[in-house]
Amino acid sequence: MAKAIFAGGCFWCMVKPFHKYDGVDQVISGYTGGHTENPTYKEVCSETTGHLEAVEVTYDPSVITYEELLEVFWRQIDPTDGGGQFNDRGQSYEPAIFYVDEAQKQAAEQSKAALDASGRFSKPVAVDIRPAAPFWPAEEYHQDYYKKNPFRYQMYSVGSGRAKFVKEAWKDHGKEQELKQRLTPIQYKVTQESGTEPAFRNEYWDEERPGLYVDIVDGTPLFTSKDKFNSSCGWPSFAKPIAEDKMEVNLDTTHGMTRTEVRSADADSHLGHIFDDGPKELGGLRYCINSAALRFIPVEELDSAGYGEYKKHFE
């Protein structure tokens, strides 16, 4: 295992982005770069310790490279803001990359130079690259904050301006154009613009054949007909996904409601919402999913479609 240390403003928002990648074993929130030992959150926030809020990523370099981690890091921050990140201002929120050896230093410098030269931002990249210093884990209540306090985490991510910036600044315009050409208008509106198709007037709300439902964008298997049930809501409803790690959940406060949005983890497609009014004998959840976000593959076509390994779900 190897370690990488990144400071990107509030460490609450820097854990989840790394956690979802294969090869990442652990992400710890903490403090580094300062001159005091065992600092507390209150001390670091006082701007008297010299420490930055940071995360220490433990990873398997045979599965995910340091260069790939750098790409994840850049896409969570505003690289041109050296005075803090979003609503969090001050020295303790400054962005920085802490290298643990010469190879990481060179990789970080090359990655920073490439981002500067890309022209993505009109201002220069303002992220420091520094030698690693002692890393002090933060208090336990800060660890995995997005899991312990999902509502507050999402409100903070949105309220600070981070969520909107990341979505707009790092938009892949090439992918955007490709998807506009490949998807139908309603498929694009649902998956890329978080739209909703009409109830009872969509492709799979009353589909009863056995089969597999995959992400319309990248083909990732998401649900099977074994977990599909009739909820009378007018959209396909599932009790659970094939694998929890293929899903991302977010707080959705649009349209004057508070709901739990569900997105596909790999393609970041908006799928629908999760409710707690599903059949209790199936776990009590209802994954209310837009047909336009899915492609249905009948059991008899799984082999020809390249999904033969999923026939075991129907045995």
**Backbone phi and psi for residue 266, each to the nearest 5 degrees, phi listed first:** -80, -50
**Are 22 and 64 spatial neighbours (Cβ–Cβ below 8 Å)?**
yes
pLDDT of amino acid 233? 94
* pLDDT recorded at residue 265: 86
Report the C-alpha gap between 187 and 9 in whole angstroms. 35
Q: CA nearest 64: which of 23, 110, 106, 109?
A: 23
- How far lies 254's CA from each of 30, 93, 194, 251, 305, in Å? 33, 29, 10, 9, 37
Task: Decide if 9 contacts 96 (C-beta within 8 A).
Answer: no
Could you read off the pLDDT of 207-241 as tens digits, one per residue?
Answer: 999 999 999 999 999 999 999 999 999 999 999 99
pLDDT band at 274 (very low <50, low <70, confident <90, very high): very high
Residues 6+ apart with CB under 8 A from 294: 204, 213, 214, 215, 216, 222, 223, 236, 271
**What angle, rounded to 10 degrees, do the helices at 173-182 and 185-193 form?**
150
Cβ neighbors of 149 (< 8 A, separation 6 or more) are none
126 vs 168 pLDDT, higher one: 126
Whole-number pLDDT of residue 189: 96
Cα distances (angstroms) measured from residue 244 to each of 6, 16, 240, 262, 287: 27, 15, 8, 11, 12
Q: Which two tokens stand for residue 168?
A: 């707009």
Domain extent listing, the chain: 1-168, 175-311
Residue 198 is given by DSSP the state P
Tens digit of each residue's pLDDT (9 = 90 or more) over 102-155:
999 999 999 999 999 999 999 999 999 999 999 999 999 999 998 898 878 888
Quote the strand ranges of the chain, DSSP E.
Answer: 2-7, 24-32, 52-59, 84-85, 88-89, 96-99, 128-131, 135-137, 211-215, 221-224, 228-229, 237-238, 247-252, 259-264, 270-275, 286-289, 294-298
Amino acid 155: pLDDT: 83
Top mean-pLDDT range of 46-50, 166-170, 253-257 = 46-50
Dump pLDDT digits (tens) for 84-108: 999 999 999 999 999 999 999 999 9
Indicate the Cα dihedral angle 80, 85, 86, 88, nearest 10°: -150
Say what the pTM is.
0.76
Neighbours of 232 (CB within 10 A): 9
For residues 280-304, give the mean pLDDT: 96
> Quick check: do 1-168 and 175-311 share a fold?
no
Given a cut of 80, whether residue 173 has pLDDT beyond it is no
Indicate which residues carry an active-site annotation: 10, 288
Structure tokens at 201: 């007037």
pLDDT confidence of residue 250: 82
Q: Give the CATH superfamily of 1-168.
A: Peptide methionine sulphoxide reductase MsrA (3.30.1060.10)
Angle at 34 between CA 33 and CA 40, to 5 degrees: 110
| Average pLDDT of the residues in 253-274 | 89
* Per-residue confidence (pLDDT) for residue 24, from 0 to 100: 96
Tell me the CATH number for domain 175-311.
2.170.150.20
- Residue in 149, 170, 183, 187 with CA at minimum distance from that of residue 289: 187
The pLDDT of residue 55 is above 90: yes
